[in-house]
Structure 1
Amino acid sequence: MIHHRHAPTSIIALALTSALVVGCSPAPEPTPTPTAAFASEEEAFAAAEETYRAFTSRLNEVDTSDSTTFEPLFALSSGEFEKADREAYSTMHAEGLIVDGDTRILSFQGSEAVSPFTVVVADVCLDVRAVTVVDADGASHVDPDRPDVYALSVTFIYDETQLLIDSAIVNQDFACDEL
């Protein structure tokens, strides 16, 4: 059973007086409610996939001998992911390494997105078997133990205009079907 206590008259009077004083002062500016980046989880996943496909397309267009081709790739990333790519491509450029062959997306599956959809996570399977990295003498710089297919967990963040790739880690818990 819930017991209700009656407030003393002085507290009620104080509350009414406070209400009258507040009523005479200007109303505070309303705090804006954060607007969702996307209307639904499905929309967020679709935007993440669009970003990842654009990133992969730009990746396949990179010419390590021309550093200006790196910028379109970096425009779709952020944080440590972007920093690591900047370092890797700068090193490849400086060392005269040549990347050839295309990375292919085998699958893209949204796995996590919660309103306001400013962070989206997806499971991605990438086929890199056609990608080679060689030096000027033609010697391979690809680890001989590199797998042909990578299962990745990719995190995207919303930067007020678009989703950017913020991290990508190998996902041991996700199985890729090699096509």
Structure 2
Amino acid sequence: MMSPTPLRLLAVLALGVSLLSGCTPTPESTPTPSPAFTSEEEAFAAAEATFSEYIDALNRVDFSDPATFEGVFSHLSGQAAESTRRAFSQFHAQGVLTSGATRFLWVSGVSADADSGGVQARVCIDVSEVDVVDSDGASIVAPDRPALQPTVVTFAATANAASTISDLQNSEEFTCAS
């Protein structure tokens, strides 16, 4: 049998441990990430708005003034950003000029991931009014360039919840019918 002193020490120790456990901070709960979009319709609408802003910025580009590139770059990420930066830098260095406006006739959503914010869409781009000329004023547009370009566009969500264009690929899977 234990003497009263060790029992008291055990009781004090148990009380101390229980008091200390009451002083430990409760672990912070980790927030559950909310989906980037609440529906496919919302995702497709955001993608179309992003693409429209991108086209507007693209039409304001002046290759003689690199400051005008930033509006386009702000709508791009990933492979699309890398390839566009290279092309714009090259066009600036070569003294390339553009005229006319790029338009898009329609955007059609293909898929959307509400959790990641990733969206893929088919877009019909109209470049019929666009000419690109070298520093001598000669057109560098291929004579067989189609005026309407079917393109698959991939959008990625960013930290601020706005989507960016992460990839643009010409497509032969569909045609542009205006």
Structure 1: runs of 5+ lacking an equivalent: 1-23
Instruction: Determine whether 1:174 maps to 2:174.
Output: yes
| AA aligned opposite 1:132 | D
Asked which structure has the greater CA Rg, the reply is 2
Q: For residues 50-73 of structure 1, give each alpha carbon's deviation from its aligned partner in whole angstroms, at most 9, with x where no partner exists.
A: 000000011011011111000111
Q: Paired residue for 1:135? A: 134
Task: Check conservation: 2:133, 2:140, Cα contact below 8 A.
Answer: yes
What's the CA shift for 1:120?
A: 0.6
Equivalent-residue separation in structure 1 for 2:38 and 2:116 (angstroms): 8
Equivalent-residue separation in structure 2 for 1:40 and 1:26 (angstroms): 38
Structure 2: runs of 5+ lacking an equivalent: 1-21
Q: Higher mean Cα deviation, 139-148 or 75-84?
A: 139-148
Q: Paired residue for 2:102? A: 103
Listed as ranges, the matches of 1:109-128 within 5 Å are 109-128=108-127
Q: Paired residue for 1:94? A: 93
Task: Check conservation: 2:43, 2:114, Cα contact below 8 A.
Answer: no
What's the CA shift for 1:30?
A: 3.1
Among all aligned residue pairs of Structure 1 and Structure 2, give the percentage whose two residues are the same amino acid. Answer: 45
Equivalent-residue separation in structure 2 for 1:151 and 1:47 (angstroms): 20
What's the CA shift for 1:32?
A: 2.4
Per the normalisation by structure 2, the TM-score is 0.82
Equivalent residue of 2:156, what SS?
strand
Instruction: Determine whether 1:79 maps to 2:116.
Output: no
Q: Paired residue for 2:4? A: none
Q: For residues 35-56 of structure 1, give each alpha carbon's deviation from its aligned partner in whole angstroms, at most 9, with x where no partner exists.
A: 1112211111111100000000
Listed as ranges, the matches of 1:44-55 within 5 Å are 44-55=43-54
Q: How many residues align?
A: 156
Listed as ranges, the matches of 1:33-48 within 5 Å are 33-48=32-47
Tell me the C-alpha RMSD between the 2 structures: 1.7
What's the CA shift for 1:136?
A: 2.5
What's the CA shift for 1:145?
A: 2.0
| AA aligned opposite 1:166 | S
What's the CA shift for 1:93?
A: 0.7
